[in-house]
Structure 1
Amino acid sequence: MSHSTPPAGNVPAGLPPEQLPPVSGPLTGHEQGPPRTSIFVKELLRGSAVTTILAIVLALIVGGILIAFTDEDVQAASVYFFARPGDTFVAIWQSVYGGYEALFRGAVFNYKAADFAAQIRPLTNALGFAAPLIAAGLGVALAFRVGLFNIGARGQMLIGAMFAALFTFHIDLPMWLHLPLTLIAGIVGGALWGGLVGVLKARTGAHEVILTIMLNYVAYYLLLWMIRTPGLLQREGTNQPITAATPETAQFPDLFGPRFPQLDWGFVIVIVATIVVWWVIERSSLGLRMRAVGENPHAARAAGISVQRIYIYAMLFAGGLAGLAAMNQVQGSVTTGFTAAIDAGIGFDAITVALLGRSRAWGTFAAGILFGALKAGSFSMQAQGIPVDIVLVVQSLIVLFIAAPPLLRAVFFLPKTDQEKAAQARAKAAKQRAKAVEDKAVAS
């Protein structure tokens, strides 16, 4: 009687090795990791996209609380809350729902309008408001990627508008030549003003924040003086500080006709600018050098990159994009003549847009559309008796929550990042060491 020899490695007979179940565990040395699905979900919840969405949601929740507190019906019903609490909750629901419903109708789709063109007009208004925000935000975001905190978009917009009015408003040209010439003049004006910051930063080491703040004031008072001086930019026949109207041949045509006056071809140019910025930063060799300087200028210099030159290039680009934002105002929204307030706060809102967009081209584009929608919808909210400042509070809260991811993770019980876990472990270890030293001192 013959006996079969067991397979090598003491593997049970009857099943080939490739069909045996895998063995894992701490005793085998092959401990199985977490499932891929859980890893994907955890990384998704840690991602910037989820953080941004939750920041917007939390800001809207806080905004709804503010709407309820400022509503007169809620205040009246809260007086007898303990007698009839349902009235207070109904009033809160009606105030918050009415406010955000008005925001939606004013920014996205007005389902109460008579025809389809009137129903989608709010969306075109939101895109029109978003165009200059996107352009200026791209300039700030590009500077952020190079490690520069450009808060001079306002001054760059003012100088861009001044260049356009000074060099192109008083000439008579056909539209195919006058419109692009005016656009180029505004972009060049903003680029020169931004490039001045880059040169001073590169040559003298002056901080760009101080430079841009000071140059904002210089640009404002320079433009104010020019529109108050006859023969320069002041409109003929008036003593008011306002320029002449933008020539019709220099105005952006409406993109979809006169029924949608807020949306013009300037928005298409902004889309092209977004594509160009994305390609320059993410795909070109210049963008590689810019990102290297933004990550570590000392290492970039050691690698042979001219950090000073990159600073100048970055601020030229940033100023030119701010000039494009000014042209969206001068050639699109404000064509009856502009004052020294032509920037309309866009230069500072651009910082918020760039932060919300994570300094990425398409993220800034999406953030600009969001803020344009909030601006368009704020007028409908104001018609409902809701203070327009609520929208500004919501915008500020979005940026606040974006800048504090640990707060969002604590509110929504999201998993912590590896950096946060390491920081928590270091803090715990330091606390234990301090306690050990204290116990040792007491014992001695």
Structure 2
Amino acid sequence: MSEQTPITTATQSVPEPPRENQLIRDMLRGNVVTTILAFVVAFAVGGILIALTSDDVRSSAGYFFARPGDTFAALWQAIAGGYDAMFRGAIYNTRAAEPAIAIRSLTNSIGYAAPLIAAGLGVAVAFRVGMFNIGAQGQILMGAAFAALITFPMGLSMPLQLVMTMIGAVVGGAIWAGIVGLLKALTGAHEVILTIMFNYVAVYLVTWMVSTSGVLQRAGSNQPISEPTPAAAQFPDLIDARYPALDWGFIFVLIAAVFVHWLMERSSLGMRMRAVGENPHAAKASGISVQRMYVYAMLIAGGLAGLAASQQIQGAITSGFTSTIDAGFGFDAITVALLGRSRAFGVVAAGLLFGALKAGSYTMQSSEGIPVDIVLVVQAVVVLFVAAPPLVRTIFFLPKTAQEKQAKARGKQAKRAKMAVAR
């Protein structure tokens, strides 16, 4: 009888995964990867739309089964040509005769980005305090109108006139937004409703101003347009006259971004404002005046929107302004703030990106006949996916964050509890 060896069970410790694997998983869960993949999806969607709007693609698709190569060639030409045109219009014009002219595309992108960044910073500050400021349009309009009313008739010399005009725009935007903050603090009225209504009031008020002789309407004109910006109030070119879109206004915007970063991340006031944004009830219990923080947040947000107005009246638009001077920047600023995750330098990056998309869209339309609306769709898709990181991680099979795992576990527990009650 053979001797049997006893079977023993030994508990062996499972070795921990390499640290490199954990670092990779953390990177894949991060916001940077999620944002990059959001742009990948957005440009893929944009490519599909470019193909659908191409006459060559549609015509070659009619005989696809006879000559499929024609369709694929048309697809490549439409999509690659469209994005090549965007690059030429936004970053570097590869068809320019000399490099000095080729980089004008980049300076145009920066010029478009300046008011977007300024207004986006204002929206971001309000977001950090738990307020949804969608009134940047009205704040830009009133900033421009206030600057025109108090500074244009002065006839000061440079640089005093330039500084006074910029301060006037900042003060006008701050006052207009500060009224919203004060109403919310005193009455509890919702800032979304207030800012929507204030946008309408600003549009019609500025329309009346530029249409009324003796207020802001240009002398001797019956058109709704203001006097041109005095030469002494215009921002000087940052490089030279070959790059008119890039002026010293962009430097002031960067200074504002540094200030907002210091204010929200380093100062005691920023700490109190962030505390209100996280939990106003806990902030109030700790002795913070929530109402005061609401007023401060809207004053700062409006002042930054007024800085965006100064970019318009002192830089890009010098021949006078109308009630459309905001050029859609007021609402685009919400997108920029969301994409920048309400952080100052994130807003700068998002504003530069959207400025490049805007500059590139014009070249796409003029060179390739692609509608500008395609770029707007790309922007919307980017924001959609950036605002929904779990969706991006699901599409690309990325590891879930701890918060998502906890939420999923709570959902399963709630489902089991509901089924138990039903039985």
Deviation, 1:201, is 0.8
Structure 2 match to 1:55: 38
CA displacement, residues 59-97 of structure 1 (integer Å, 9 cap, x when unaligned): 000000000011000001000111111111111011000
Output the CA distance in 2 between the equivalents of 1:26 and 1:432.
35
Structure 2 match to 1:85: 68
Superposition pairs of residues 334-413 of structure 1, within 5 angstroms: 334-383=317-366, 384-413=368-397
Does residue 1:268 correspond to 2:251, yes or no? yes
Superposition pairs of residues 6-25 of structure 1, within 5 angstroms: none
Provide the secondary structure at the position in 2 that maps to 1:262.
Answer: coil
Output the CA distance in 1 between the equivalents of 2:412 and 2:127.
34
Does residue 1:319 correspond to 2:279, yes or no? no
Output the CA distance in 1 between the equivalents of 2:77 and 2:124.
39
Provide the secondary structure at the position in 1 that maps to 2:159.
Answer: helix
CA displacement, residues 164-208 of structure 1 (integer Å, 9 cap, x when unaligned): 111111121111110000000000000111111111111111110
Output the CA distance in 2 between the equivalents of 1:431 and 1:39.
31
Provide the secondary structure at the position in 2 that maps to 1:175.
Answer: coil
Output the CA distance in 2 between the equivalents of 1:192 and 1:425.
48
Superposition pairs of residues 188-227 of structure 1, within 5 angstroms: 188-227=171-210
Q: Which amino acid aligns with 2:269?
A: L
Does residue 1:99 correspond to 2:89, yes or no? no
Does residue 1:241 correspond to 2:228, yes or no? no
Provide the secondary structure at the position in 2 that maps to 1:315.
Answer: helix
Structure 1 match to 2:139: 156
Deviation, 1:436, is 5.2
Output the CA distance in 2 between the equivalents of 1:280 and 1:415.
34
Output the CA distance in 1 between the equivalents of 2:25 and 2:293.
38
Determine which of 236, 261, 277 is the counterpart of 1:253: 236
The unaligned stretches of length 5 or more in structure 2 are 1-8
Output the CA distance in 1 between the equivalents of 2:421 and 2:195.
50
Output the CA distance in 1 between the equivalents of 2:149 and 2:16.
67
Deviation, 1:430, is 3.8
Count of matched residue pairs: 414
Does residue 1:232 correspond to 2:231, yes or no? no
Q: Which amino acid aligns with 1:182?
A: T
Return the index of the structure with the highest Cα Rg. 1
- Between 1:276-285 and 1:426-435, the stretch displaced more is 426-435
Output the CA distance in 2 between the equivalents of 1:161 and 1:127.
21
Output the CA distance in 2 between the equivalents of 1:26 and 1:202.
67
Structure 2 match to 1:331: 314
CA displacement, residues 202-252 of structure 1 (integer Å, 9 cap, x when unaligned): 111111001101111111111111111100100000111000000000000
TM-score, with normalisation over the residues of structure 2?
0.95
The unaligned stretches of length 5 or more in structure 1 are 1-24
Tell me the C-alpha RMSD between the 2 structures: 1.4
Output the CA distance in 2 between the equivalents of 1:61 and 1:344.
27
Output the CA distance in 2 between the equivalents of 1:419 and 1:60.
29
